[in-house]
Amino acid sequence: MERIILKRKIAPRVVNGHPWVFSNEIEAIEGEPQPAAIVEVVTHDKKFVGRGYFNPQSQIPVRILTRNREEQIDADFFLRKIKACWEYRKHTGYTENCRLVFGEADGLPQLIIDKFNDYFVIQTLALGIDRWKPALVAALQEVFSPKGIYERNDVPVRELEGLPQQKGFLSAPFETRIIIQENGLQFHVDLANGQKTGYFLDQQDNRRAIQHIVKDATVLGAFTYTGTFEIHAAHYGAKSVLGLDISKLAVEQANENARLNGLQDRCHFEEANAFDVLKQWVKEGKQYDVVMLDPPAFTKSRATIQKAITGYKEINLRGMKLVKPGGFLVTSSCTNLVHPELFLEIIAMAAKDARRKIRQVCFQTQSSDHPVIWEMENTQYLKFLIVQVL
């Protein structure tokens, strides 16, 4: 087998369990591994570290799949892994809809599989895992006998791996607009055209966290996508709910979701740029009992992290000013580049500038079907915070 020999003087990260081998950590390559080949990774003194997939074009030429010398990487390996992923979700109570495979956190780097009841959406974000798509599909067929499997590989990050962006059926074609249940509510999900894999499963527990604070409240939501938080708010007894999103398609789906749950009289959605509208409404002196924000990542690279910090601060400042004294701000951040401590600092800065005192009601992360590996920063990405704004 072709071998990747690590440099002597590198951080013990890879040996200690991190699956990524960066190009500047490689001393030498034995043999001529083809792109997507399975290679062995060894230390400078040739001690076995693990086996992983190779892509010379990537800045991360190897991602490790196993550290067990006896374990071969074949279709059966992926079947065992999928079964293990499913066992974990069953143990932690995420069965109907869940992130079945959360990449690195499940030992399957750059692989995402979301389960929406009987339907599955796959993303293979690196060349070395993309090659195993048929084995992954076969494993899903064997374990779940799904009604449909869809590929959402229309993501720019694939281009860094020399892969095309693409989407389509990996099973017989099926109706990709489905309805899922969450916390007793129903939601339309468009697996083919929705954002990411169609639905943000990571907030499923956090949506329940607003239950008590929204009772009899006037609620403003921004960055609502298909309206999940807002529809929960109406369901939990909010007096009136207005949701804003910049995407026309998202707003249409959100209003449809409100109707689907019979909540359209108290909950509706409008197309708007939240930055502009919130600024305007602060000027006009509008006030709400609860303001909810769930903006996009703002940046994907460390180089432009300041842009994200500024974005989060601005929007939270505006959101806070719209909260009545004693009301609540519900705010999220989904980029791993802004770590939890930094996020709290940003909110503290926003409160200072808004001249408001805040107190923390709860601070959570993504749901447990997206487990966090402490050594892998990118597995802890979601921050979900509720503060009372005094």
Catalytic residue numbers read 334
Interface with ligand SAH includes 245 (CB under 6 A)? yes
Nearest to ligand SAH of 104, 245 (CB atom): 245
Interface with ligand SAH includes 253 (CB under 6 A)? no
Answer positive or negative: Cα dihedral of 213, 217, 220, 221.
Answer: positive
d(CA 105, CA 377): 10
Q: Phi then psi for 301, rounded to 5 degrees?
A: -130, 150
Q: How far is the CB of 295 from ligand SAH (least distance, A)?
A: 6
Interface mask (CB under 6 A) for ligand SAH, residues 225-244, using x and -? xx-xx--------------x
Interface with ligand SAH includes 317 (CB under 6 A)? no
Binder to ligand SAH among 97, 197, 224, 299 (CB under 6 A)? Answer: 224
DSSP 366-389: S-TTS---TT-GGG---EEEEEEE
Tokens 């705010």, residue?
331
Residue list 264-283, contact with ligand SAH (CB under 6 A): 273-275
Which H or E run includes 345? helix 340-354
Interface mask (CB under 6 A) for ligand SAH, residues 21-50, using x and -? ------------------------------
Interface with ligand SAH includes 367 (CB under 6 A)? no
Binder to ligand SAH among 250, 350, 386, 387 (CB under 6 A)? Answer: 250
Q: What ranges in 6-116 are assigned the alpha helix state H? A: 75-92
Interface with ligand SAH includes 174 (CB under 6 A)? no
Nearest to ligand SAH of 40, 245 (CB atom): 245
Other beta carbons within 10 Å of 77? 20
Provide the residue type at 83 as one letter.
K
Interface with ligand SAH includes 294 (CB under 6 A)? yes
Interface with ligand SAH includes 322 (CB under 6 A)? no
Contact in structure between 35 and 55 (CB atoms under 8 Å): yes
Nearest to ligand SAH of 41, 233 (CB atom): 233
Going from the C-alpha of 286 to that of each of 44, 54, 241, 325, 352, the distances in angstroms are: 64, 55, 14, 12, 20
DSSP 135-152: HHHHHHHHHH--SEEEEE
Q: How far is the CB of 62 from ligand SAH (least distance, A)?
A: 32
Interface with ligand SAH includes 299 (CB under 6 A)? no
Interface with ligand SAH includes 296 (CB under 6 A)? yes
How long is the chain?
Answer: 390
Structure tokens given for 261: 């749950």
Q: Phi then psi for 281, rounded to 5 degrees?
A: -70, -30
Interface with ligand SAH includes 191 (CB under 6 A)? no
Nearest to ligand SAH of 153, 335 (CB atom): 335
> What is the size of the binding site for ligand SAH (CB under 6 A)?
21
Interface with ligand SAH includes 106 (CB under 6 A)? no
Q: Which of 286, 300, 301, 295 is nearest to 313 (CA)?
A: 295
Contact in structure between 319 and 331 (CB atoms under 8 Å): yes
Q: How far is the CB of 251 from ligand SAH (least distance, A)?
A: 9
Binder to ligand SAH among 132, 200, 269, 381 (CB under 6 A)? Answer: 200
Q: How far is the CB of 15 from ligand SAH (least distance, A)?
A: 37
Contact in structure between 29 and 54 (CB atoms under 8 Å): no
Interface with ligand SAH includes 17 (CB under 6 A)? no
Q: How far is the CB of 241 from ligand SAH (least distance, A)?
A: 13
Cα-trace Rg, the chain? 22
Interface with ligand SAH includes 78 (CB under 6 A)? no
Contact footprint for ligand SAH (CB under 6 A): 195, 200, 203, 222-226, 228-229, 244-247, 250, 273-275, 294-296
